[in-house]
Structure formats: C-alpha cells, structure tokens
A = this chain, B = another copy of it.
Amino acid sequence: VIALLTDFGFKDSYVGVMKGVILRRAPGAPIVDLCHNVMPQDVLEAGFVLSGAYEYFPDGTVFVCVVDPGVGSKRRILCMETPRHLFLAPDNGLLSVFMAEIPNRTFYEVTNESLFLESVSDTFHGRDIFAPVAAALAMGLDPERLGPKTERVGSLDLALPIRTADGVLRGQVIYVDQFGNVITNLSQKALEPDVVSRRKKVVVRIGGREIRGLSKSYKEAGPRGLLAIMGSSGYLEISVNGGSAQAELQTNRGDEVTVSFEK
C-alpha cells in the first residue's frame, strides 16, 4: 500500500498525476489518499494527521508526505524506516511530530537520482521524486539503495502540555476538523490515570467556557450541548452535539485549554 499525504487539495490534477507516475512504476499498487487537505505548507498539521493515522495501516505501507514549502531549494528528502512502515518526507520537521513514539527507526537521505523521473522540475517533487521513489519502495527496493544513512533529522518546536504546580494540565488546540471538533494536544496518556477513574470530576476550560465531566458520546450532551470527549486519535476533543465547537468557541490552533479535577 502507498498512502499519500499532501497539501495539494483536489482542485488540480497534482494528486492524479502522482498516481499516474506511481502506477507506471509499480503496476497494481493499491494507493490510498490519507489526506490532501492539509493547510497549505502546514508541516505541523501534516505531522499531526500522520501521527493519528499510521498505526492503522497495513505492515509495509509506504507513506508519501508532500507538504513541502522548501521544494526546489536545498532541503533534503528523508526516508524513515520503522519495523512496520516506510515514510518519505522532506526534512522539514514533519516526521519529528511523532517519530519519538516509534523505536528502532532508521533514516536515509534520498539522493539516488537514478530513481527519480528523468527530468525533475523546480516545483513538483511530489511527481518527479516522491512518486517514483515510493513506487520503487513498494516494488521491494531496499531503503539502503535510496542514499546514505543519516542521523541528522530536522525537528519542529512542539508545544507539549505542561502540568502546573497546582495540578492543572495546560495544553493547546492543535487541529480543528471538518465537523468543527476542536482537538487538543492533551493525550489520554497525559491525562491518565486520572481521567478514566474520575471521568465525572474533570473540568475543562477553553475560550472562557467551562465543561464539567467527560462525555462518552455526543448525544450525552443534549442538543447543541458543548462537551469534552476522548477523541478517536487519543486526544481530548471539545465538540458540540449536532454542531460545531469551533463556531461556538471561536477558537483556533494554539489557543489554551486546561484540565483540572473537582475535589
């Protein structure tokens, strides 16, 4: 399986052309659109999307990540090999969002030009480099053939949740989905074991609002009710039952959210 993650959207034929190249080099390879609507050039969002997704894919999947503001400049392209998957991405910090979770990872710098299309454009390495390299990997190419191993990997400055002296957990909004669900960087791991056992005592504060208790389903909150719930990516989410929490809270990425517990 080759899974594609880009900020190319669906207006143009960019994604379609990448698939053409892949199928030319790897006939019959199953291609999955993981997501093509990452905010343009938003490397952090791409990393977040991938972090919540990769574990669900088959062993051997090649993830092709083309969110690449530096295309055409001297930025490197990396391949990260893990026990289950391969990840192709520019060396712009995208992989750093989740790579710490995966032990036994190896990085290669993609430099073997014999794998690229014959003519490489200045602006569309997704087609000219990423697609043919992914196809070669899907056909069984040993990642060692891509180029030299490397240990130098760019990383983003991630805002991690912090626990203050009075026991309040302080995080922030990292993503808003199509339904207006507001997703925070407070993982189940960061909240546990408190959350499981003390679900009803949780107090979430965001955008001047206070939510008491964690819900198990949207319906629990009643029509148009604001609620907090452990989301499907394993992070605390703020939602409105039958509506958009984003519209109600007017919140954006980076806004603060705190979790404390009633006594």
Task: Give me the interface of A with B, judged by CB distance under 8 Å.
Answer: 1, 3, 5, 8-17, 19-21, 23-24, 27-28, 30, 32-37, 40-41, 49, 52-53, 56-58, 61, 69-73, 121-124, 127-128, 177-179, 215-220, 229-232, 237, 239, 242
Contact = CB atoms under 8 A, between A and B. Distances in A.
A249 B61 CA distance: 42
A122 B71 contact: no
A19 B73 CA distance: 34
Contact of A41 (B9, B28, B216, B242): B242
Contacts of A69: 218-219, 242
A24 B56 contact: yes
6 contacts: A13-B35, A16-B34, A24-B57, A56-B127, A70-B217, A123-B217
A229 B122 contact: yes
A32 B58 contact: no
A172 to B, nearest CB: 19
Contacts of A24: 56-58
A13 B53 contact: yes
A73 B229 CA distance: 13
B122 A21 contact: no
Which 9 A-B pairs give the minimum distances between C-beta atoms? A72-B217, A124-B232, A16-B34, A20-B57, A11-B178, A13-B35, A20-B56, A121-B232, A9-B178
B123 A40 contact: no
Given A16-B53, A58-B23, A219 B122 contact: no
A12 B178 contact: yes
B127 A40 contact: no
Contact of A35 (B12, B121, B218, B242): B12
Given A9-B178, A10-B10, A12-B35, A72 B218 contact: yes
Contact of A58 (B27, B36, B40): B27
Given A35-B12, A179-B40, A3 B20 contact: yes
Contacts of A34: 13, 16-17, 20
A191 to B, nearest CB: 15
Nearest to A48: B13
A239 B189 CA distance: 43
B13 A23 contact: no
A13 to B, nearest CB: 4
A141 B245 CA distance: 40
Given A11-B37, A72-B218, A53 B17 contact: yes
B12 A232 contact: no
